[in-house]
Amino acid sequence: MQAKKWVWILFLSLILAFSAVQPVAAVDSDYFGIVEHPHRYTDYSDLIDQIEATQTKWIRISPDWNAIETAKGVYNSTFLDRLDDIVDQLHAKDIKILFILGFTPSWASSNPTAPFPDRTRYKPANWSDWEDYVQFIATRYQGKVTDWEVWNEPDHWGFWKDSVADYKTLLEKAYIQLKNVDPGNRVLMAGLALNDGTQDSYGLNTFFDSLLANGAGDYMDVVNYHAYGSSANLIAKYNGMMDVLNKHGLSGKDIWVTETGYRNSGDKESPKANFVDETYLLHKQFSNIKRIFWYNYRRTGTTGAVEENFGLADAGLNPLKALYYYQAANGAQSFFGDQTENALTLYVNDSPHDSGITPVSGNMKVTEDQYMYFKINDNWLYQTNEGLDPLVYIDVTYLDDGTGRWRLHYDAQSNAYKNAGTVTKSNSQTWITQSFALTDAKFSNSQNAGSDFRIWAELGDLTVKSVTVRKEDNAARAILQTENKQKLMEQVLSTDPAMESYTTVETVGGLTARRIGGNTKYAYFRVSDAFARAGNTNLTIGVQYFDEGTDSIRIQYNSTGSNYQNVYIAKTGTNTWKTAQFAVTNANFSNLQNYSADLRIGNNYDGSVEYIRMVEIIR
């Protein structure tokens, strides 16, 4: 099905006599880019328009040398016409391009009789062919492309069939040609797979170590690697990269992660969406990682092939759940240009009859005694996501001109138009951000025209620069039910009754929960290392349990002194759901329990049955 073309208007800088205002992006746009292959699609214009609609400012593309130059000095004009159009469209939309240089054409390969695509993974027979190609493509796109990545995953046997020294030569010659064309060109080493094709390979005494030992550090502006796997694995990979950089005195170099992503199973999109948050949160903790790229934008199929299920949108360019998490990586932010509702995590809804808004130089003016309505995409936040996100913040940046007042009304558990607070202006002629912490937000589209909250210019007009909705960022949580809802932590599940981690689903006290039955059964939990790991000693453990009987529930967690540190909940037989919290100062969440877990919950070896609905870790 042909995708609908989304047209987006980028924010303009607002220049007023009293203030200069910068546009607001709906994602952390200079940090979080995407990987895509627009040259592979006939509908690449629709694809590019939709990528622009996400406010993405970086795209990594990989047009092959073997598709561009079909014989020495002979260029595929059809392919280049398409590539020219793609580069021109991206440049016109102010989307920066990271252009991968590779792979060797058959005519230039040092092993042209090898099967395809292996022959394209060998070095050129003549280095001058490589130098000529790099000069050709860099000159062709001079001024439109300034960031270049030399090859892809040369530490993986599937992408590079020659030696470390040969890749160093490839990198060096590309670097020299790129700098000759434009000294402002930025050169990235190829993104390392950190896997040789059979097993993980990172840290000392690996491809990267040998590469730097060969002097390659002089021929790269940016270090580059790929980050797939669990949060613990991602941290190990980063530490391995830093071990090598420190060894060679290059710890000051910037790092880009040009691929990170998650391949979901079938139509289960929630784990992929959660990983968007996880990889963003984790990599933001390392100040020398300057940019990351999600692989990839478009899902290419659903047959189960490895490359198919990484996408933020499906093959027809319909947004998937992960797209809204991508847009809201640093909070769901407003956009006051032309909008397509299902393209945005936070949408300005101007359809209610009492909406009174006017765009003014990239901001929005709310007329006195009128409203500005907002809708939050249900894929990102709806009815607290069944308890997963009970605390929400709304930040409103407004112009403090005059002495009027305004209010925020939100869809709460008890009232669709609950007043979050009244703000009185003081005529300071500055931009002020007012934050509202909402502990009872429902956000079930109950306001006019399916909206979730609104701003009321009660007295005097109100100029709004931006609105951001944020979920709490200091909690990992799991809601236990038939299909668990989880963020930044997960329950270890087993369907085998013989396993320690075996639990069943039951409804008790009006809630679906996990039943832990017997003295040798536990609910085990792994907490993402992106959220809490060794060194994060001060944590709060929260458990929602059914208070049946007068026995005790045993909670055991990784501490600095024991892998199974005990705390207890003494039940009182009220037959109601209760929540207990424990502030601990000796946490050491290092995956040291069975199943690489950080904590587990069971009975106190007294034969009782326990029912658990929610577990949370708060920093």
Report, as an integer, the average pLDDT of 357-371: 95
353 and 490 share one domain: no
Report, as an integer, the average pLDDT of 338-352: 83
User: How confident is the model over 455-500, as pLDDT tens digits?
Assistant: 999 999 999 999 999 999 999 999 999 999 999 999 999 999 999 9
pLDDT value of position 302: 66
pLDDT value of position 179: 98
Position of tokens 């326990």?
610
Q: How far apart are CA 40 and CA 44, in angstroms?
A: 8
Within-domain flag for 609: yes
226 and 291 share one domain: yes
Within-domain flag for 246: yes
604 and 456 share one domain: no
Domain boundary among 471, 500, 529: 471
Strand partners, 257: 225, 292
Within-domain flag for 86: yes
Instruction: For 114-165, give the secondary structure using H, E and C.
Output: CCCCHHHHCCECCHHHHHHHHHHHHHHCCCCCCEEEEEECCCCCCCCCCCHH
pLDDT at 284 over 50: yes
Residues 368, 382 contacting (CB under 8 angstroms): no
Within-domain flag for 8: no
For every residue of 264-328, DSSP letters joined together read: --TT--HHHHHHHHHHHHHHTT-TTEEEEEEE-SB---SS--TTTTT-SB-TT-PBPHHHHHHHT
pLDDT at 227 over 50: yes
CATH number (domain holding residue 305): 3.20.20.80
Position of tokens 């007023």?
16
92 and 211 share one domain: yes
Q: Do the strands 475-479 and 371-376 form a parallel or antiparallel pair, or are they unpaired?
A: unpaired
Q: How far apart are CA 129 and CA 229, in angstroms?
A: 37
Within-domain flag for 11: no
Beta strands in 380-501 (DSSP E): 392-399, 405-410, 418-424, 431-438, 453-459, 462-471, 475-479, 485-487, 489-492
325 and 353 share one domain: no
Domain boundary among 304, 330, 356: 330
Q: What angle do CA 153, 156, 162 make, to 5 degrees?
A: 95
pLDDT band per the 50, 70, 90 thresholds, residue 27? low
CATH number (domain holding residue 410): 2.60.120.260
Range of the structural domain that residue 119 is part of: 27-330
75 and 172 share one domain: yes
Q: How far apart are CA 280 and CA 254, in angstroms?
A: 17
Q: How far apart are CA 537 and CA 533, in angstroms?
A: 8
User: How confident is the model over 97-153, as pLDDT tens digits?
Assistant: 999 999 999 999 999 999 999 999 999 999 999 999 999 999 999 999 999 999 999
> Taking all residues of the chain, what is their mean pLDDT, rounded to a whole number?
93
pLDDT at 25 over 70: no
Q: How far apart are CA 78 and CA 503, in angstroms?
A: 59
Q: How far apart are CA 423 and CA 406, in angstroms?
A: 5
Residues 406, 434 contacting (CB under 8 angstroms): no
431 and 481 share one domain: no
pLDDT at 9 over 70: no
Which carries the bigger pLDDT value, residue 425 or residue 4?
Answer: 425
Within-domain flag for 371: yes
pLDDT at 351 over 90: yes
pLDDT over 90 for what percent of the chain?
89
Report, as an integer, the average pLDDT of 506-529: 97
- Number of separate domains in the chain: 3
479 and 464 share one domain: no
Within-domain flag for 14: no
Long-range CB contacts (within 8 A, 24+) of 248-253: 248/209, 248/212, 248/213, 248/217, 250/212, 250/217, 250/223, 251/288, 252/288, 253/217, 253/220, 253/221, 253/222, 253/223, 253/288
Report, as an integer, the average pLDDT of 568-587: 98
Q: Reduced to 3 states, what is the DSSP secondary structure of residue 31?
A: coil
User: How confident is the model over 47-84, as pLDDT tens digits?
Assistant: 999 999 888 999 999 999 999 999 999 999 999 999 99
pTM: 0.92
